[in-house]
Structure 1
Amino acid sequence: MARVETIPELYDTTIWKFKAEGNANITLSYVGENARFSATVLRLRKDNQLDTIIDSCSYVNSVMKPLLGDEYVGESILLEIRPEFLKALSKSILKMRSNNRTQKDIDHNQKYALLMSDHTMFPSNISPTLSVELKPKCAFLPSSPLIENFVKLQSCRFCMHKYLKQGHITRYCPLDLFSLEDKRIRKAIDALIDCPRNNLKLFIQGMQIKIGKENWPTSLCKFFEVDYSELDDKKQQYVIDMFIALLIQAIKEEQYLFRKLKTLQKTLDELDIEGINKLLITYQPKLSELSLEEWKLIVDEYVKRTATNNSNNENAREFMSTMEYKQIRQRIYEHLMSATLKDCSIIFSFRKSDMRDVARQNSHSSPIFQNKERLQQISLSDNYLDRSYVYKVNVIDLDPKPLAKLPYYQELDAKIVENYLKCNATNNSKCSE
């Protein structure tokens, strides 16, 4: 069960500062003086969201954690809140929000907020923190016969999706990131730096740095302790290369996580949205949002099936015509789990290492949380400063996806295929696993 707390000292709008927001949630950073709440954030739901029966905290703990592992999914607390506090918060952060986001306000009727670790910070301020948020989105080739005939080599759906975007066309392919090969990871990170959109975010001391903004490598200079008084192109490239080298090393150290995430995204979505949509035509009236106990059964059945069956997409689609209702229902909810994992983010946070990290036995957390975050040590050398760093890694944005989103996924998939074919882009979107 999710841990529920009532903490009177947190119901003060002056101790919360706007940090970030997406379409569904707003995140606030704790800026008060109580060390118990250092490096924590408060996440609040916005208006007009499609609720599920269970709360996000319970879903993450009981569905996502067993799949990804406790070491990668942080602890959350359900903080009881009242409408008057939420209304006051809405007013206090309004000026800090982007104009294109203010059409959705904080939902004043929600009874709980999520209190979580700020994964872009460390609880102690030993040295500056550099954090990197990656949204890998490793989705695979759709089942459309038109695409399969048009593109003989496998191409990831993300590379098709990029043609929906206006303006710059990203060169980023998630399969490069998931390859765990130095050159391909470097290629992916270079492409993200060139066109980050929402797939790469940088934070220094919890504050987001706008990649591409004039002299943005100055922030990297501060972290790596490189003189930036004369920041020419050569020095800028030097600190960017240091950043890339550090991130590549951390990604390769966490290859278990990347392989696990890639496998989950693929095996939970063996039928693809086109296959799922065919099943929904007949069976959607029989389906409803699941309770927490029902979600646990879905996870158990998935684990059982994948432990004894290494089927691929093609075999799964052939099996569709003989599926019983129980199997169909299982695959539809698995697809929703895959949607969560395709939309998640991975956050790496780095800081210089010192002897106190050894004393902590490579684990730490904010005092309010019961679990301990795992710290790993890595070093930069060769052409860079010979220095040791500690890092932590967490997977975030693991909220449940409601059944009502399935028509949207089908519509998006159709647009991806349509735009990909219009672009005639086979020559520059060849991907390989």
Structure 2
Amino acid sequence: MNKDTFTIGFMLFALFFGAGNLIYPPTLGIDAGTAYWTAIIGFIITGVGLPILAVTAISFVKNDARELSDHVHPLFGLIFTSIIYLAIAPFFGIPRAATVAYEMSIEPFTNESSPIPLFIFTVIFFVLVFLFSINPSKMVDQIGQYLTPILLIAIIGLSIGSFLTLDTALTTPTEKYQNGPFFTGFMEGYLTMDAIAALAFGILVVNAFKERGITTRNALVKSTLKAGAIAGISLIVVYSSLGWIGSKMAINGEFTNGGEILSRAASIIFGNFGTLLLGCIVILACFTTSIGLVVASGEFFSKTTKIPYKWVILTVTILSFLIANQGLNTIINYSVPVLVFIYPITIVLILLTFLDRLFGGAKAVYRGAVLLTAVFSLYDGLTAFGFKLQAMTKYMEVLPFFSLGLGWVVPAIVGGLIGLFVDKWRS
């Protein structure tokens, strides 16, 4: 591997490693207890494996993530890809990153319930994000060569301190991790948003390699896999470390989110310096992710609407700023149902991209698999939003894996097989 591959791989790691990646592994660790390693493996599959597959899938196409969903129908491709970019950028992903950065780096030092500190912080945060996002071609070097090494050093420092300092025994798993901790961890991986964010980040990786003279499809796929491996290994190490910190914190009080767990752990390990160190980690992680999301969504919507790139990223930044000031809990409450709905569809599209040659790229296969997946994931999304669908629930409960939150799996397979049958029948 050459220097460019490492630079792009580290950029990809930094883009993935944002708000959700910080706050969910510690929560998993403290809840899973003695079932930690089983749970974290499930988390890694959806939090690392799927995103790397998604980035690689983008290297198969010529332009962006829309081409993957265009296999179903061009109109579906436009709508679904737009929903993905809106979800990971101005509506959920970027605002969540900004509010997590504030709550874990600034709020511990304010002792105020006033919204003014958050307002001032987000003004500064988003002005800097906008300035870094104006020139996408420089982003790779800015993040890959400078910001990511600082971020990794800070995380390594916190992790080493935790292994040397936190030596309490693991506790009994909470109720949701007592049965099927692997699948619970698998579902928790959804909340990082990384599999859908990867559809946006993938084109940034591909373009970065193209700018360095790699243009053939096979070379792009191989280079993307290598960069993905670097990012993936880094993420696995970091997730495992953060989750392990959480698993050791159960006797140190009750916590409402992963941010509180890490803040308390950092304080125990390093005192006030630990709080500052964690603040550095959080701000860098959320800042780099926000830049990547602004750039990716800006390039997509600029290409789609023909509006100049700088006006698109200005709009995305302003929307993100306004939503960030609604607070972290509000953002999380509204994002979970949307993620529960779009994640299964995204997973199916990614897997079909790799299986495409087996069924000759038949659109009927894509349509059948995605249609049935969407029907059942919509039910899950509405349920997560709080709708009572008791009339449907008794039928849904008979589906394999329904209790694990994976009731869409068998319908997706059946839909794909029906599509394959229809395609063969037509021909």
TM-score category, normalised to shorter length: under 0.3
TM-score by length of structure 1 reads: 0.27
**Greater share of helix:** 2
TM-score by length of structure 2 reads: 0.28
**Greater share of strand:** 1
Task: Report which of the two structures shows the higher radius of gyration computed on alpha carbons.
Answer: 1
